[in-house]
Amino acid sequence: MESGKILLTNTELSLVKKSNISLTEVGASVDDFKEGFVIPLTHIRKSYTSLVQGIYVVKIETRDGHLFSITTANSRSLGKEGSINLNEMINSTTILANNRKNLSPSAKVSRTEKDPNVCSNCGREFDPRWKFCENCGKEL
């Protein structure tokens, strides 16, 4: 890998070429991407660090079967600390993106499903210590 930029936002991971760069391992080259390669965070299956031929890399597996290897190694270090930090950032951002996707409010959620301290019969708020609704008398 010659050189490139890694851009991590709250929705996607972008791998941008600065020069002639191979973004994947042998056999699955994406050198034809001129502008860069964008991976939506919801498409990342897993990310982990690995030691490949004495250099630490972050491997990213996507849900559509692609495997990307990113290294932070340079002439002074093998990239262990950088790979661990990058992996933690990718994993935490991916988890946040997936949680945000799963927790998006649906249009047909009633007020009683959102707030457990609302009577399911009349819709009035009640104190959690109450056994009966003050308004309609239904047992809570």
Domains of the chain and CATH, by start: 4-102 (2.30.29.30)
Comparing 22 with 56, the larger pLDDT belongs to: 56
* Distance separating alpha carbons of residues 38 and 100, to the nearest angstrom: 19
pLDDT in tens, 107-137: 454 544 556 778 877 888 877 777 788 778 8
pLDDT at 49 over 70: yes
Comparing 12 with 88, the larger pLDDT belongs to: 88
* Distance separating alpha carbons of residues 58 and 61, to the nearest angstrom: 10
* Distance separating alpha carbons of residues 84 and 80, to the nearest angstrom: 6
The distance in angstroms from the start CA to the end CA of the chain is: 63
pLDDT of 114 reads 56
| 27's tokens | 């056999």
pLDDT at 88 over 60: yes
94 close to 104: Cβ distance less than 8 angstroms: no
Q: Which residues partner with 62 through β-bridges?
A: 44
